[in-house]
Chains A and B, each alone.
Chain A
């Protein structure tokens, strides 16, 4: 135990004295979250919309005017029937179609309540959501003004329908994915590099000749990075929370426990990589191509898994990050507990166990 403590302290010295590693460890996650966040959060201005006005009365004219004068929307097309809707979306001319029902003004006056249907192109979910929000806001402002001048409380239901992406992934959905990527990158790459560095410097041989056991060497190598990865995960969560308003609706303890599980998984992959690489460069390249790229491409983070060819869909089942992203989304956004993610948790736990065993066995064998 005492031997292990000395080992861990030494490992921390390596990390803290190498400022470049520190920059990677803490700078990279923050930069990634901010980059993803700002690239994906686009301010909407002069978005093209189309109008299908089945009523063509004073109220609808007023609302259309309000929309076009708001600065957010440009009226690009006036449609005559619902058959044309598909066409304008397909051509990519408009991002949203506003449909007024028949006898809009009459219904509003008689029943005090009318309905506007919004069709939004949700293949770009962030923009779609923003457009719907803006439209609703404009309509509500109009109603408020009207209530003031006429003294009548009226209601207009704005009913949005998301086309092409009915599940409507929210704009902050990227945060769970970034956590997965960054943890995978940091944990696996940095561990594999630090083990490979010991091989390069020849210190690994000395460690192996010493009475330290393979298990102790691995634990000593891994513990500091578990600790750091955990701090990093917390950093990303904080940036997500306070810069992008990503909620953490579910139990925080569970969220942290699942993160720890994923960190252990990534670390065991890192050890596995280090057992097959003799130099730091090799370790880095293998981590990048064998671990990071599949994580980005196949975890469903950027490209929806449902849209992939069947073969790739099957492969995606083998990508641990996929399960972690599902877990994160459930806990953070849907606010559910373990009851909804137990299956994914078991899968992650199983994969972790498998890789830990494999890397410990391989570690011993390779160093002979």
Chain B
């Protein structure tokens, strides 16, 4: 794997809130085109880490580069090369499907013609051409999720950050959603995803598991299952996360 291109490079990332250390000396690399799972119990520090990587928050210390840009000095450049989808899907409910696409395309500085072209392609691919002019609030949750993901990568970022993208969605829709993620990753997109669902962790190329602000494990799901002598990722997660939680 070492010859692969590194798109996120994190060394000694520390984030403190007063006396509380949310991220304790994180070190990891994410390679181009991989689906990187970022797991951890609530409060383990994964949201803090993802916010730092997206430029929403400054780290206390550490060397970090995202998409080849330094997180302290080149925040604006990073922003143009990443996409972000939050757990709330972040679409405007009172705008139509097309208006949402146009708006998000617009804030990334895409030209109107380019937006129209990409929007058409996107709608055809999702089979959403009929709801082009429907308000978002009239769509089922699974549709919103797919649309939110497609919009997050509309400007063709190098990396897309997905913060618990499958919350509240039924298993079939989740499966379809992962198919979308794979498809995009196969085209060279790097996917950085946080999730609660351990079956989803098994879909990732590599996963890191955080507990108490530290990364306790980082490897392919298969290796982790073997190493921790478990039968599923769920067991791995419980073995890693539980001892810490009981402290």
Chain A residues closer than 8 Å to B152, beta-carbon distance? 206
**B90 near A206: Cβ-Cβ < 8 Å:** yes
Q: Please, how many angstroms separate the alpha-carbon atoms of A205 and B47 in the complex?
A: 12
Contact A7 B94 (CB under 8 A): no
A58 at the interface (CB under 8 A from B): no
**Binary contact readout B148-173 vs A (1 if CB under 8 angstroms, 0 otherwise):** 00001000000001000000000000
A2 in complex: contacting residue of B56, B80, B109, CB < 8 Å: B109
- B92 is contacted by which of A203, A205, A212 (Cβ under 8 Å)? A203
Known pairs A13-B99, A14-B92; A205 contacts B84 (CB<8 A): yes
In the assembled complex, B199 has its CB within 8 A of some CB on chain A: no
| Chain A hits for B181, CB < 8 A | none
| Given A202-B89, A203-B92; A2-B106 close (CB under 8 Å) | yes
Q: How far, in angstroms, from A368 to B17 measured CA to CA in the complex?
A: 12
Does B128 lie at the interface of the complex (its beta carbon under 8 Å from any beta carbon of A)?
Answer: no
Query: Within the assembled complex, what's the spacing in Å between the Cα atoms of A147 and B47?
Result: 92
Query: Which chain A residues border B94 with CB–CB below 8 Å?
Result: 13-14, 17-18
Q: How far is the CA of A17 from the CA of B106 in the complex (A)?
A: 21
- Bound state CA distance, A203 and B91, in angstroms? 7
Chain A residues positioned under 8 Å from B107 (CB to CB) = 3, 6-7, 207, 210-212
In the assembled complex, how far is the CB of residue A49 from the closest CB belonging to chain B, in whole angstroms? 60
CB within 8 A of A206: which of B84, B93, B102, B106?
A: B84
- B34-87: which have CB < 8 Å to A? 54-58, 76, 79-80, 82-87
Give every chain A residue within 8 A of B91 (Cβ-Cβ).
Answer: 203
Q: Is A208 an interface residue (CB 8 A)?
A: yes
Flag whether B108 is at the interface (Cβ < 8 A).
yes
Q: Does B103 contact A (CB under 8 A)?
A: yes
Q: How far is the CB of B183 from chain A (nearest CB, A)?
A: 22
Nearest chain-B residue to A220 (Cβ)?
B107
Cβ of B16 under 8 Å from chain A = no
Give 28 A-B contacts (CB < 8 Å), ordered by A residue.
Answer: A6-B102, A6-B106, A7-B103, A7-B106, A7-B107, A13-B94, A14-B95, A17-B95, A201-B88, A201-B92, A201-B93, A203-B90, A205-B90, A206-B84, A206-B86, A206-B104, A206-B152, A208-B55, A209-B79, A209-B82, A209-B84, A210-B79, A210-B84, A210-B104, A211-B76, A211-B107, A211-B109, A368-B56
**Could you list which residues of chain A lie within 8 angstroms of chain B, going by C-beta atoms?**
2-3, 5-7, 10, 13-14, 17-18, 201-203, 205-212, 367-368
Q: Which residues of B are in contact with A by a Cβ distance under 8 Å?
A: 54-58, 76, 79-80, 82-95, 99, 102-104, 106-109, 152, 161
